[in-house]
Amino acid sequence: MTVELTTTPESRLKELGLVLPGRAPNPIGSFCNVRREGNLIYVSGQGPVQADGTLLRGKVGSEVTAEEARDHARLVAINILAALRDALGSLDKVGSVVKLLGMVNADPDFEKHPFVIDGASNLLAEVFGKSGIHARSAFGVGSLPNRITVEIEAIFGAAEQDQP
């Protein structure tokens, strides 16, 4: 059960002891990390990139366990937050998490896609409280760029004070 937060996302991040990377990972193609359209903020697919630039790679279900991949999804959520902060200046400009689309680079017989993507969903609920509970899809794919384990894209709603 998630408790409604009386603090801001930025202060909650500090309370949780989470440190975001200094800047979001650079896009690997001809696109931007974040695009705002009206009250919605779209974050392009992010992967498990560690602060030193190391990519977490492998096929979930054979080379990587579901538990390890769940930790990778949590790292992806941290990178999503870093991309948001880069684009908006502060996570306090985010009012809600609307939807996640989570893709797992999985063996054909792997079945725990929702479990893996919960790593990201749970972190976002910790940071945004009740407003962090979102709609979501989670599924397996045959491959992902650079053989990363997980890729997640997200849609956020702007905070009321930051709406056009």
At 163 the pLDDT is 58
Higher pLDDT, 2 or 44: 44
At 24 the pLDDT is 77
Query: Is 90 exceeded by the pLDDT of residue 150?
Result: yes
Averaged pLDDT, 3-18? 81
Query: Is 70 exceeded by the pLDDT of residue 162?
Result: no
Task: Report the DSSP pairing between strands 94-105 and 135-141.
Answer: parallel
At 26 the pLDDT is 79
Stretch among 2-6, 11-15, 98-102 having the lowest mean pLDDT: 2-6
At 85 the pLDDT is 94
The 10s digit of each residue's pLDDT in 45-80 is 999 999 888 999 999 999 999 999 999 999 999 999
Cα 145-126-64 angle, rounded to 5 deg: 35
At 79 the pLDDT is 95
The 10s digit of each residue's pLDDT in 121-136 is 999 999 999 999 999 9
The 10s digit of each residue's pLDDT in 89-131 is 999 999 999 999 999 999 999 999 999 999 999 999 999 999 9
Question: What is the spatial distance between Cα 104 and Cα 139, in angstroms, rounded to a whole number?
Answer: 6
Does the CA dihedral 91-92-93-99 come out positive or negative? Answer: positive
Domain boundaries of the chain, sorted by first residue: 9-15+33-162
At 6 the pLDDT is 62
Please indicate, yes or no, whether the overall pTM of this predicted structure exceeds 0.85: yes
Render the chain in DSSP notation, one character per residue. Answer: -PPPPSS-HHHHHHHTT----SSPPPPSSSS-SEEEETTEEEEEEE--B-TTSPBPB--BTTTB-HHHHHHHHHHHHHHHHHHHHHHHS-GGGEEEEEEEEEEEEB-TT---HHHHHHHHHHHHHHHHGGGG--EEEEEEES--GGGBSEEEEEEEEEPGGG--
CA nearest neighbour of 16 among 122, 100, 115, 95: 122
- Which strands, in side-by-side order, build the sheet including 150-158? 34-37, 40-46, 150-158, 94-105, 135-141
Determine whether domain 9-15+33-162 maps to CATH 3.30.1330.40.
Answer: yes
**The two structure tokens encoding residue 153:** 């894209």
Query: Is 60 exceeded by the pLDDT of residue 3?
Result: no
Amino acid (1-letter code) at residue 47: G
